[in-house]
Structure 1
Amino acid sequence: MKQMTTIGWREWASLPDWGIVIRAKADTGAKSSAIDCSSIEELAGDRVRFTLRLSLKSNETLTLETPIAMRKHVRSSTGHGHDRIFVETTLELGGAEKKILVSLTCRKRMNHRMLLGREALAGSFLVDSSVDHWATPRVKKALK
């Protein structure tokens, strides 16, 4: 049986494919994961260019280009449906590493730039919702 990594409801998620560490909220009520983007532009060859908003407190951004992993209709927390583009990246969290799918969407009104849904958490992570930052200490230089 695979060893599960315990994480808190909020953690510093490393996305090494993109060279960033970002605060993420574990949300077992959400099926899929999402990351805060702007300027999402579909390109030839089933690729996408997008700009990640990395911080609530600054205008720091990172523009990336990557293959589209899939397109899917997703219902938001408000119940409204949207067609979203998903991309694949590597998640490193609490010593565990996993390839995950992340939808590109505007989360500028949300407190966390990234949401980790059940699909990303399943089989690798056990969420202790009573704890903030169980697996990763607060990182002074990480992006909020």
Structure 2
Amino acid sequence: MGNQSFEKKNAIKHVSRLKVLSFVLFLSVFAVNAMADTSPIVTGWVEKVAIPEYNLTLKAKVDSGADSSSLHAVSIHRFTKNNQAWVQFRTQDGIAIQKPVLRIVHIKTKTKGTQAREVVELPICLAGQLTTVPVNLVDRGHFSYPMLIGRSAMEGKFLINPNQKFLTEPKCGSVSRKTS
């Protein structure tokens, strides 16, 4: 009987160790999957970006050399609404947008010295990730791409492959109107 009791205690210890090992294995697998889910998405240096709120898709330069993001805007007019500064502008294909002004930034330019620009928040879809990004408004008509995505919008989420374009799709919802 003493021998059976000893074997029973060993069996219980063995089962307990198996439970602990199983739990540790589960946590390890969970941790690896969690880390895989947070790894940055690789984009090209030019990508399509959607602005779902306005059913708009456009090409954007993804630029780690620029801190902030900017959007091509014309007919930019500030006004006051509910005691708050707002701005109205048009995109390159004429879509009228009104947004509250987040702040005014002063951007150094090559030709004009410092330029004051309104900053608004826009929900954008880049590489299947919907994120709200502060963008400054400026006439980008002389640039190849109507939007610039700066590093503050990419931080921790995206890496750029400088040798590639259009590695991702902006699929975060229904977007049908296309522009370049």
Q: Which TM-score applies when normalising by structure 2?
A: 0.70
Instruction: List gaps (5 residues or longer) in structure 2.
Output: 1-34, 171-175
Q: Tell me the equivalent position of 1:71.
A: 104
1:121 offset after TM fit, Å? Answer: 1.2
Deviations 1:79-107 (A, max 9, x none): 72111100001121112121100000011
Contact between 1:23 and 1:114, CA under 8 Å: does it hold in 2? yes
Q: Corresponding residue for 1:28?
A: 64
* Structure whose alpha-carbon radius of gyration is higher: 2
Other-structure match for 2:76: 40
Partner of 2:133: 100
Matched-pair contact (CA < 8 Å) for 2:70–2:136: yes
Aligned position for 1:142: 178
Q: Unpaired segments of 5 or more residues in structure 1?
A: 54-59
| Aligned ranges 1:46-85 → 2 under 5 Å | 46-53=85-92, 60-76=93-109, 78=111, 80-85=113-118
Which protein is richer in helix relative to its size? 2
> Which residue identity does 1:48 align to in structure 2?
V
Structure 1 residue aligned with 2:166, among 122, 127, 133?
133
Aligned-partner Cα distance in 1 for 2:177–2:133: 24
- The answer as to whether partners of 1:46 and 1:68 remain within 8 angstroms in 2 is yes
User: Any runs of at least 4 consecutive aligned residues in structure 1 with deviations exceeding 6 A, and if so which?
Assistant: none
Q: Structure 2 vs 1, CA of residues 12 and 72 (structure 1 numbering), >3 Å: closer, same or farther?
A: same
Give the whole-Å Cα distance in 1 for the aligned partners of 2:121 and 2:42.
23
Which has the larger share of strand? 1
Matched, 1:90 2:123: yes
Alignment check: 8 A CA contact 1:12 1:142 kept: no
Measured in 2, the distance between the counterparts of 1:88 and 1:47 equals 12
Give me the whole-angstrom Cα distance separating, in 2, the residues matched to 1:4 and 1:17. Answer: 25
Aligned identity (percent) is 26
Query: Which residue does 2:5 correspond to in 1?
Result: none
Paired amino acid for 1:52:
T
User: Matches of 1:124 and 1:90 in 2, distance apart?
Assistant: 15
Asked whether the 8 Å contact 1:34–1:114 carries over to 2, the reply is yes
Distance 2:91 2:110 in 1: 21
